[in-house]
Structures are given as C-alpha cells and as structure tokens.
Structure 1
C-alpha cells in the first residue's frame, strides 16, 4: 500500500472545511487535482473516505478513522521538522494562535512585537475567536495554540497557565458603591450589571462570581464582545461592570477610584492551550516565556486569589 503525505493533507483539508473547492483553495491546488488524488487514495485503500452525496461533504465511518490517523501522521512529520530546527538552533515556520476577545486588546500589544523581533523567521498568525471556536480549531489543526481563560477541562486539550488577573468591579461615579474602597463578592450588584454577550467566557465568570441570573442592565437589546464598550456604557448610562486586571489598567488614573477590589479575591486564570499532539514544543516554550515577561510580575503568582470557574 502506497500513499503520499500530500494525499493525507488533502483528506484532512476536506474533513476540516467539508467542501472540496475550499479545501483545494487552502491547499493551493485546483479542485480537480485534489479530487483526483483523493479518489486515487480511496482506490489504493479500497474504501470510500467521503460521502459525496451530502452537502456539506462528510467522511464515512471508515473515513473518520483514517482521517484521524492521517492527522496523527502529519503531526509526527511536524515533530521531525521541529527536531531539525532544534539541531540547527533556529526557530522558523508558522505559529497559528487563537486569542479570546477579552484578552486580545490588552495582552497582544504587550508581547507580539517582542516575539516577532526575537524570532523573525516565525510567521505568527493571530485570530481573535471565542473559546469554543479556539478549541474546535485546535482539534482540527487549524490552530497551533490558543490564549484563553481556564480551566476548561476539554478532552485532548492541554493547558499551560500563564498568569492570574484580578477581577474588579467598575462603577459609575454616582453609583452607591462609588465611595467604597472595596466590596464583598455578595455585594456585586445584579440589577445594574452590564454583561458581555452569550458565548464569552468572561460573561460566564461574571455570572459564576456573583450568582447573577443573566438579567441586568438590559434596557435595550444589545450584545457586545468588547469590555471597552461595556466600560463606556457604565460611563454614560450608569451601573457597573466587571473588568479583568489588564483591562482595568487601561482605565485613566483619574477614574481609578471607580475600580473596586472584591473580597474574597477573585482571579481569572489565563493559559496557553494546545492539542495533546502539538509538535512545536520549542515555539510554545518561547512564547510562554515572552508572555510571562510581558505582564506585571504580581500576576504570575498562582496564590494571589481564587480562580473563578469559566463553566
């Protein structure tokens, strides 16, 4: 039995995108070329890999098992490339990184320039995605790693904790809590709390922290994935919202009195997450080091507070 790595790449691409034309575009070949190679592989194996009568195209039972093994084989090839780079003491290639929206504007500017200058031969490709999308793309090898809030407890996904952010309450100047130095967790207001849209892990942490029912300052139908937008809604419309520490550092000095520490001290754990079969170990280690150096040192202390559940 003979097959090529290219054929394996083609069947993985079709499984990932569930469309022959899109898979061909991503593999930089024509659709007839990709289809011909997959058909040839099916003839060599003596099984049909894809049910072409369905749209989007789906793998057969045999196809699912073979494609899973193809992904493992391609990961092992990546590990060989990693060994070669290690021998040559060179880091190069592509690193596809996902990052959640409540981290991206506050964390990316802190480390991305340092990383790209330190490793100019590495093409860092960053995508801003919700946690569920990052996990899904890690499993289908569309991403190499992700920056997300943990613990997630996802099968086959490993978590490497990076730092721990305080969760702070941000209030309007006329809010009843505005003059208090800090508050107890049970005092976090439910009736005027602005929340992120469904699907954001920080929304879940907010609800878990204060036992919120999900109803709050919803005077009109509005969904946001932006912490900055929620902060400005508090400024103009009143109420309060929770901010993680890196976002809170963006609050102007004259408004810092409106940030309230919460007791007992809640924190969110930020981690680098990746597939169990991740091949680019050296890249992961270097990225971990640079991110940890880029955040305030006190955020590295795991014991600084109690991690709030994401789910």
Structure 2
C-alpha cells in the first residue's frame, strides 16, 4: 500500500468513473485499474462495485475511503508543518475556500486583498458554492473550508462561528404596515414577497421567519426564483414587491435603495456566519489566520452599521 494508491481511491470515489478519475490523476485508466486491483488484493476486499453505473464503493470500500481521507489529511498536514518550520515560520501553502453566493459578493473584498498582501506565499483558491455543494466538496477534499450560514451541522464537520449578520427588509413601495422604522414578520405582505431559489439556505431561513409553506404557483401570473440577491432586488423594484436580505448586502446600496431598507423589531432575526471544515482537517494555523483576517475586516463595519 502506498500514498499514491490512496489518492487513486479518492479520485475514483469523487468521479465514480475510471476514465475521468484517471485523467484527474494524469495516468491511464489501465494504470489506475491495476493500482486499485493491487490494493484490493493486499486488503483482500473489493473497494468499488464495477457492475454499477456509475461505479459505487462497497461497504468495505467506504471504510477504506474514510481512512484514506484521514491518512492523506495527516500527510498533507505533515508537509505543511515541515514547510512552515523550514521557512522560519512564514505562512505558506494553499487554502481552498468555498463560500455561499449570498455572502461572497459582500464579504470577500473586505478581507482577501489584505490577506494576500500580508501572506504573499499563501495561495488562496476561492469557489462560490451553495451550502450543499460545500459540505459535499469538504467530504471529497476538494476544498479545505467553507464559509456559510451555520445550521445544525452533522458530526462529521467542525464549525467556527465568526459573526452574526442581521436580516433586513427591502421594500421600495411604501406598504401600509411597513411605515414604521421597526416591523414585525407578521407585517409583511406574503403575496408581494420574493425569495431566492430553493437551493439557497437564506430562502429556508426567510420562509421560517415568515411562517411560509411551499404553495402551488399555477394561478400566479409571474413566478421567478432568483439566483442572486442582485437579481432579487431588481425583481422587487420592478414589481413593487418586498424581500428580506442579509445586512452586508445593504452596504453597497445606493442612497435611494438604502432608503427602502427597514429593520425588524427586537429580537432581530439574523444568520450566524461561520467556517466549516471536515473533521479530519488539521491546518489549524491557516484557519486561525482566516478567522482573524475576516473578523478584523468585518467587525468595524458591522459595528458602524449597527449604530447608524
């Protein structure tokens, strides 16, 4: 058994296809198949069921895959710590970050420029992904850390809370119940409420806040599930509708749009923004740096917004 074989196993598990896995590993399918077969013979098990399309891991194969992730994570950490010590404690290496679409446009530009300037030998790879994709990519070791709205995460993940982001109401057309500065969720006219499409976790939070249920939209003249907050805002303005958006999105608003923003009455609804890693991730130094860079950039902004 060797490290390369374990990489092959994880690549096959990711792609569930020998040709694609071989291409990702820069080997031929024949080489990949031979190396997998040698590992299976050494362990005296079958790791993947080749009769299925796409191929799937067997029950024993799942155990091998889980242990392969643990071993390769430890190897990766050893290499990182050795390089860190050899470079006289200068931070270097790679940090692969996944971040949800309702946060990426409003957070990244606050801390990424300073972080790259401070740590020039640290390579940062960014991916904009939905929460479900982030958890899937963490399991497959495609990313190292996700920045998401924290929920009740499974035990296989570790979380680090970062900051609390309030939810605000955006309503361009004065609505009868929205004339006061502070409103209740019951004041919102559900018939005029626009939401992000179902894959966004923010949609679920808004639906819970407003006690909404999925409804049949066949009789509605216009239906549209927005894929981004900017699209959502444009739709609301076009239809004199209403929506609920996270606090950081408001910072880039024009003065005209900011005049259409209202706050909820106490206790204000909010989402908890945090970092999530797979349980085997051990580059704690890089997580400490990421956390410090985000908080040092965003905390002054949130304090200023909360007092304005």
TM over 0.5: yes
Aligned equivalents of 2:214, 2:228: Cα separation in 1:
17
Aligned equivalents of 1:111, 1:28: Cα separation in 2:
35
Q: Is the 8 A contact 2:193 2:243 kept in 1?
A: yes
Aligned equivalents of 2:61, 2:257: Cα separation in 1:
58
CA deviation digits over 1:70-89, x for unaligned, max 9?
Answer: 11111111221232134231
CA deviation digits over 1:276-296, x for unaligned, max 9?
Answer: 111221111101111112214
Give the superposition deviation at 1:146: 0.3
Extract structure 1 runs of 4+ deviating beyond 6 A.
none
Q: Which residue of 2 aligns with 1:309?
A: none
Calculate the TM-score normalised by the size of structure 2: 0.91
The two structures, once aligned, show a CA RMSD in angstroms of 2.1
Pair 1:139 & 2:139 matched: yes
Q: Which residue of 2 aligns with 1:208?
A: 208
Picking from 271, 274, 282, the partner of 2:277 is 274
Give the superposition deviation at 1:177: 4.8
Q: Which residue of 1 aligns with 2:103?
A: 103
Q: Which residue of 1 aligns with 2:21?
A: 23
Residues 134 and 20 (structure 1 numbering): CA distance in 2 closer, same or farther, change over 3 Å?
same
Q: Which residue of 2 aligns with 1:73?
A: 71
Q: Which residue of 2 aligns with 1:160?
A: 160
Pair 1:293 & 2:291 matched: no
Give the superposition deviation at 1:143: 1.5
Task: Flag structure 1 segments of 5+ consecutive residues without an equivalent.
Answer: 305-311
Give the superposition deviation at 1:65: 1.1
Q: Which residue of 2 aligns with 1:8?
A: 6
Give the superposition deviation at 1:173: 3.1
Q: Is the 8 A contact 2:96 2:126 kept in 1?
A: yes
What secondary structure, in the 3-state scheme, does the structure 2 residue paired with 1:191 have? helix
Picking from 222, 225, 232, the partner of 1:223 is 225
Aligned equivalents of 2:226, 2:258: Cα separation in 1:
23
Task: Flag structure 2 segments of 5+ consecutive residues without an equivalent.
Answer: none
Calculate the TM-score normalised by the size of structure 1: 0.90
What secondary structure, in the 3-state scheme, does the structure 2 residue paired with 1:112 have? helix
What secondary structure, in the 3-state scheme, does the structure 2 residue paired with 1:260 have? strand
Aligned residues: 300
